[in-house]
Amino acid sequence: MRILFSILVASLRFTVIFTMTNISESDNYIRDRERILKLEQKTFVGGELNLTLKEKLVDDVILKIKKSELVKGYENVSNFLPSQHFFNVKDKINQSEMFSIIKKLPKGGALHTHFLAGVSTDYIIKNVTYKNKLYGGCVNGVFKLKFFEDGDPNIDSIWKKIVEYRQNDTNFDVWLKDQLSLEVPNPSEVYPTANSIWTKFKKTFTVQYDMICYKPVFEEYIYQLLKELYLDNVMYSELRGTFMPLYELNGTTYNNEDFIRIFIKTVEKFKKDHIDFIGVRYIHNLYRGVSPDDLKRDLKDLVELKNKYPSFISGFDFVGYEEEGHTLFDFHEVLLEFTNDLKFFFHAGESNWFGHTDINLLDAILLNASRIGHGFGLNKHPQLQELVKEKNICIEVCPISNQVLKLIDDLRNHPMITLMSKGFPVVISNDDPAVWGATGLSNDWYVAFMAMTPENVGVKVLKQFAINSISFSAMDEEEKTAAMQKWGKQWETFLDNMLLEYKNF
């Protein structure tokens, strides 16, 4: 009996010790798990921000709405809109509750917008193409729009009044929108490769270029572009473009300085009409197929204009399909001559290739780019990542552009997520929104927030996106301080409105 009792006691002691050990190990496991998750959340973009009580309350609301949309995707991925092509889900995105919140949110600045693709095609068709004296004609295989004075000797047999096109074809506006836009219901079939969509993409600019060069239309166009950003709660923009040969119907033409002067005058008029809009900076572009000699001449002219208009002209960038034309290295000797006179905002790494086109990233860094456009291939280059972090170079992330132009299908796999997880400085931008029917910045912010941030990340990352758009802008420090103060007031108003709207949520 004594032996049996001793065995029982020993067995109970072992059971208790074993259970306590298991509980201890389980507790350690849970603690380690929570510690790692918190660390990941802290290192993600915006993770270092400390939220006010008001921000925490709004964060609770936003996370509930975000998770409710995510749950639908977890149950059936076809319900998760950012995983699908933007053309097929744009209308559904615009109807989502999370999108409506992001649209109201003060987003600071739009730092990567090409102004020739910044005004909605619907506005262009309904307002600009119904103006008198607009003609259309096929030039070198591309339909082009241009204003002429009646009886102008330059009107040859290829040109016909747009009003006549409409009289002869009741579906002309539908056809015209197809010339100005990439939107189709079956994008994978119509654009099977990047080359195919870039071919159509480049033509959309050619169609409207001469039309927008008409000075009255150019002024209306810039004003409308700023209005569409403003209505999307954007308070500042840096617009990429080229000098355009503006003209009047009486034969008057304008030079590059006139272009800048007219641009500035239009911006000032918009600021006067919208007192809480901060302003615009201009980033001059050249096609990457330009010759080194032409580049040098153009940059000299740009520096002269920048010295005259230093608060408007910010710097320089190349545009065009990165797989075509010259690399940054091809131009490095010329560009090095201007590093003290101009800031660079280079497109680089907008490619799926590894060790080829993406090496533009290295040259953008070595040329001291202030920001890098897209940076899509940066995740493949650990050494370049270190340099970007060390130099505090901001990446202009344009998720919808990357999807539409065939770099990626499902935005949950966007390579920039890796860098955002490490706290790299990024801004969310819209690139060429009109060409794919996007709305200001909100569509890009929505897909970035829903597909490129963790389930439990809310107000912090949204706030950081907006702060980055000001702190990494081309404004001087005094202007940035004033902009942050103005944005801060808008942010507080947004928080108050959210708490009022969702007080019973």
Q: Are 110 and 429 in contact (CB under 8 A)?
A: yes
Calpha distance 179→129 (Å, rounded): 13
DSSP secondary structure string, 72-110?
A: HHHH-GGG-GGGS-HHHHHHHHHHSHHHHHHHHS---EE
Rounded distance, CA 199 to CA 141, Å? 12
Site of tokens 């190990």: 25
CA 398 to chain centre: 4
Query: Taking CA 60 as the corner, what is the angle to CA 28 and CA 58, rounded to the nearest 5 degrees?
Result: 140
What DSSP element (H or E) covers 194? helix 194-212
How many other C-beta atoms can be found within 10 angstroms of the C-beta atom of residue 5? 9
* Residues carrying an active site annotation: 350, 374
Helix ranges (DSSP H) in 247-381: 256-273, 292-308, 332-336, 360-366
Of 54, 96, 62, 99, the C-alpha closest to 461 is 62
Sign of torsion, CA 396 266 122 142? negative
Residue 386 in 3-state DSSP? helix
β-pairing verdict for 371-374 and 347-348: parallel
Could you tell me which residues are beta bridge partners of residue 317?
Answer: 285
Give me the phi and psi of 202, to 5 degrees please: -65, -35
Which one, of 276, 383, 373, lies nearest residue 319 by Cα? 373
Neighbours of 376 (CB within 10 A): 28
The CA-atom distances, in angstroms, between 164 and each of 160, 168, 171 are: 7, 6, 13
3-state secondary structure 455-499: CCCCHHHHHHHHHHHHHCCCCCHHHHHHHHHHHHHHHHHHHHHHH
Which of 361, 383, 483, 462 lies closest to 420, judged by CA?
462
Closest alpha carbon to 107 in 457, 486, 505, 500: 486
